[in-house]
Amino acid sequence: MAQEAGLQALALTDHDSIGGIKEILSDVQSFPIAFVTGVEISCEPPREFKYLGSIHMLGYGFSLYNPELNAVLARAVRAREERNPKIIEKLNQLGFDISMAEVVTRFGAQQTGRPHIASLMVEKGYAKSFKEVFDLYMGKDKPAYVEKYKVSCKDAIKLILDAGGVPVLAHPGLLKFRDEKGLPDFVGDLVAAGLQGLEVYYTDHCQQEQRMLASLANRYNLLTTGGSDFHGSFNEGVDLGRGTGHLKVGMSVFKALMARLASLRSRPRLELLEHHLNYQFNDLSLLSNALCHRSFLNENQERCQTDNERLEFLGDAVVGLCVGQMLMTADPSKKEGELSKLRSTLVSETGLARMARQLDLGRHIQLGKGEFFSGGTDKDSILSDTFEAVVAALYLDGGFDAVNTILKRLFKAPVETILATEKTADYKSFIQEYAQEHYGKTPDYRVEREMGPDHDKTFEISITVDTLKAVGRGKTKKAAAQDAARNALTILMPQSL
């Protein structure tokens, strides 16, 4: 749709959610359109501007994996889910026959909100237009209005900045201040909190408002951004990137935004990474070195003495040792071949990149311009290598006990998951495929013995594959069958285990 509209750059700014970005991120990269992450956070204004009601704060270019931002947005989603039934209840009290089940059936359960309820009201003939529903029933101070979850403007700005993004005040021209000084004073307060831009070019801003807002942005050295407020069928007459037809947002706006993002990234926020690691470095230069990619070193010889590749080498050994110890402790019955197989899965490029995202590591990596603009902060290869480098920095700074404690916390859930999955799903399916391919029939399982009291039985089950027979034991029949299948595979394919 964006390509058909002739757009060169795009940001998706859903209200209080980044779920849509996560869905389209891999697809959008295949189109010749520059893409930047976005969100629109519902905010509570400062006390002196309480009369403004809800403020919307845009965030651009932030990390999708920042845990604090994700936690706040998840809370907003939960609050919306609780808010919608209350709106429906009020509409019912006003005499409208509408239910939450109808809304979900019509639009789906994901991200259902007031626009969906209003649209269904129109479809059922309770109002002539989307706007009428809000003007009469669901708008602020109307009979079916329910207050929504909001964070303070200052908290929203900090969340976006801490996630590596640029906070921008959305559609300021729509805010109704009590006097002419209101907007400049309000923007000044937000600038003091870290505001980086104003949405100057907006569908409902006239040219006079745009000129006034551009002047205000220049006064505070703020970015100017633009948005069409495209909502598909929920906002008829508003086209993606074009608004109602007069909206023009130049590519220079996007380039200025990316330059500001690069400027913010050039100021390391190592204390945030220390917070996510739950560790404070004695020598921060070790952590800085761990985050220096060779592409950054090539362009910034004066800022980075060496890249992180030597640290990657050391970190690989430390991760392997710690994860191997965790696996041995978690399942003492595992043999060397099985442990090696499980460890290689956990410390694979994909596995370590997942750990890096959990720490929001990508936003801290120092990359050259080309690598950065090609999405290097979210590439598995770069994330996994940097994770190993950071582990080495932890080891050199705090010793084995310190890094082992951190890795135990990070790998606890993955180790438990892989052991549970491996115990319940792997061997039976593997040997069934093998038997069908080589013998044209499936294995035969038989319960040979049940040992122990009823509350603590051990089962012994045999498996027959052609002329081969093996036996397994377990506390359940399912576990015993898996053990039997594993023992049979040890004989049939010892190299695979």
Q: Is residue 97 part of a domain?
A: no
* Same-domain status, 413 and 436: no
* Same-domain status, 319 and 442: no
Rounded CA-CA distance 115/130 in Å is: 8
Is the predicted pLDDT of residue 142 greater than 50, yes or no?
Answer: yes
Is the predicted pLDDT of residue 32 greater than 50, yes or no?
Answer: yes
Q: Which residues make beta-bridge pairs with 367?
A: none
* Same-domain status, 434 and 406: no
Domain count, the chain: 3
Rounded CA-CA distance 222/199 in Å is: 10
pLDDT at position 6: 67
**What residue numbers bound the domain in which 43 lies?**
9-84+147-262
Rounded CA-CA distance 381/353 in Å is: 7
pLDDT at position 272: 94
* Same-domain status, 246 and 335: no
The two beta strands, 458-465 and 468-474, are antiparallel
Q: Is residue 117 part of a domain?
A: no
**Of the candidates 262, 281, 312, which is a domain's last residue?**
262
Q: Is residue 347 part of a domain?
A: yes
Rounded CA-CA distance 4/251 in Å is: 17
Q: Is residue 138 part of a domain?
A: no
Is the predicted pLDDT of residue 497 greater than 60, yes or no?
Answer: no
* Same-domain status, 165 and 258: yes
Q: Is residue 303 part of a domain?
A: yes
Q: Among all chains, which residue has been given the structure tokens 């007069």?
A: 246
Eight-class DSSP state of 98: -
Sign, Cα dihedral of 364, 365, 371, 374: negative
* Same-domain status, 314 and 418: yes
Which CATH number characterizes residue 484's domain? 3.30.160.20
* Same-domain status, 80 and 212: yes
Rounded CA-CA distance 339/323 in Å is: 10
* Same-domain status, 229 and 349: no
pLDDT at position 463: 94
| β strands within 135-213, DSSP E | 151-152, 166-169, 197-202
Q: Is residue 94 part of a domain?
A: no
Query: 100-107 and 67-93 are packed helices; what angle lies between their axes, rounded to 10 degrees?
Result: 130
Closest CA to 407 of 292, 327, 339: 327
> What is the chain's mean pLDDT, rounded?
88
What are the φ and ψ backbone dihedral angles of 459, each rounded to 5 degrees?
A: -105, 145
Tokens of 321: 């040792």
Q: Is residue 464 part of a domain?
A: yes
pLDDT at position 169: 97
Cα atoms in the Cβ-side hemisphere of radius 13 Å centred on 315: 25
For the chain, give the number of residues: 497
Cα separation values, 459 from 62, 317, 333, Å: 54, 40, 17
Q: Is residue 113 part of a domain?
A: no
* Same-domain status, 336 and 484: no
**Of the candidates 423, 457, 481, which is a domain's last residue?**
423
Rounded CA-CA distance 17/116 in Å is: 16
Closest CA to 363 of 272, 283, 256: 272
pLDDT in tens, 222-253: 999 998 877 766 566 676 767 677 778 888 98
* Same-domain status, 161 and 243: yes
How large a percentage of the chain has pLDDT more than 70? 92
pLDDT at position 429: 83
Which CATH number characterizes residue 356's domain? 1.10.1520.10
pLDDT at position 234: 59
**Of the candidates 203, 228, 262, which is a domain's last residue?**
262
Is the predicted pLDDT of residue 199 greater than 60, yes or no?
Answer: yes
Residues with a catalytic annotation lie at: 316, 388
pLDDT at position 424: 46
pLDDT in tens, 443-474: 999 999 888 766 667 889 999 998 889 998 88
Rounded CA-CA distance 478/187 in Å is: 64
pLDDT at position 93: 94
Tokens of 417: 């998951």
User: Contact, 7 vs 116, CB < 8 A?
Assistant: no
Query: 400-425 and 309-330 are packed helices; what angle lies between their axes, rounded to 10 degrees?
Result: 60
- Give Cα 450 distance to the centre of its chain: 48
Which CATH number characterizes residue 15's domain? 3.20.20.140
Is the predicted pLDDT of residue 398 greater than 80, yes or no?
Answer: yes
* Same-domain status, 231 and 351: no
Rounded CA-CA distance 201/284 in Å is: 42
